[in-house]
Chain A
Amino acid sequence: MEQLSSAIGTALALLFSGNNDLWEIVGISFRVSFIAILAATPPALLAAFALAYLRFPGRRLLISINSTLLSVPAVVVGLTLYILLSRQGPLGEWKLLFTQTAMVLGQIALAFPILAAMAHSSLQAVDKRAWETARTLGASPLRALLTLMHEARFGLLAALLAAFGRIIAEVGASMMLGGNILHYTRNIPTAIALETSKGEFAQGIALGIVLLTLAFTLNALLQNFQGRGQPVT
């Protein structure tokens, strides 16, 4: 118990003293995950729109595949990309393994199915007359699509926050694809895993507090958006 309270005390001191190593790790985490979510969002929204509004052969199969990808563990995503990016792999020439770019790719692969599935549900819930009304009022397909997204904005924001929460906290893919290199690819979850394995709990707890704070903030925002989307009548 004494060891735990001492570790928590040191963790808080690390957090509030502006420890460079710790905040650099936080910075890497946020940078990688922000780029991943920015890259994954446009194609995921287009895919969600296509699945919700277009009728084409194989649509149901694609929905099933995307739902299956939701439950694929991060380490399996990491393993797949590792094989592709490793020197002997088909994309080995790109020399991306153990770089932040590889971590971004892993996180895109993790974020895409979450974004697509949740956005699909949100867009499908919008009244079909919204699209028709926009088109018959002269909106171009792009403007009509933006209108639909505006109608489904609370659900889409919830999808964005859920996907961001998932990728910033995942350890498997980041560890395998980034290699946990200090000052370069070490992010919050890989640092926690490393420090814990060394028996150094203080930095792990400090980073855990950052993740918990982030998780709480995202969930509070999520509740707020979802609450606005379902007004009490």
Chain B
Amino acid sequence: MTETAAAPVVRIQGVDKVFTSGTATTTALKGIDLEIRRGEFISLIGPSGCGKSTLLRVIGDLVAPTAGTVEVNGKPAVRARLDRDYGMVFQAPVLFDWRSVEDNVKLPLELMGYDSARRSARAKEMLDLVELSDFVKHHPYQLSGGMQQRVAIARALAFEPSILLMDEPFGALDEMTRERMNQEVLRIWEQTGITVVFVTHSIPEAVFLSSRVVVMSARPGRITDVIEIELPRPRGVETREERRYFELVTAVREALRRGDADGADGGAAGATSGTGASDGTDGGPSQAALDRARAEGGIG
């Protein structure tokens, strides 16, 4: 595997994941193929139970696939995890109350054998990056939810992983904080050039952040569409007011609805639309834009 710029960071081929508990089996993922290029911002979106979080965990080698292969940086996912290629951010910040903000950020560095001077330097750098330099000595419980999540991001980036895996990181935050955090994540992504895989169930969030949105559907979990988000960068508050933004939001929503309908055809009775997006930003639907987005989508 050559490490050229064109080589994908993540290459997923024919991945299935079947969970077995007792006699019951659940097909969480079915026939997943996906390539993620270096420096991309990829969102995985879909209704609950579509396997988007499972797919993220398969990429990060937290869950082993039942079939298929996952290559990361040209090596198996297990190797990539042992090489510490992944930074993880979960929906809950998972900060340790017994450690200060600074010591939480230092935790992976301690594990990875950084010396004390480098630990301090990296922690300071990362807390500057997420704009929490004034809260270094605080304990997690003294911070708001948004601030805690920023500490989690600082911790995930501290050891310079090549991929940042984020599992609904802002799902527990209010809408205003979430939009601010979106802006923060974009800034950090642009500053570091890291590849991001981002699981969300918010359509506006996915469109605003991503270079590509991977649309998934449940029963069984599969990729039904990949939508290229060609909105210009840097993106800011104005982006959310652009016509093209609304068109893409609509395109993603339509893709989700289509995927859901396919799932219902496939025999899942009473499949309800469970995208859970409370965006309230209904742009004028444009069939032309929709078709264009779909044409660019690739896998469909």
Q: Do A and B interact?
A: no
Q: What is the interface of chain B, defined by CB distance below 8 A to chain A? A: none
Residues of A within 8 A of B (CB): none
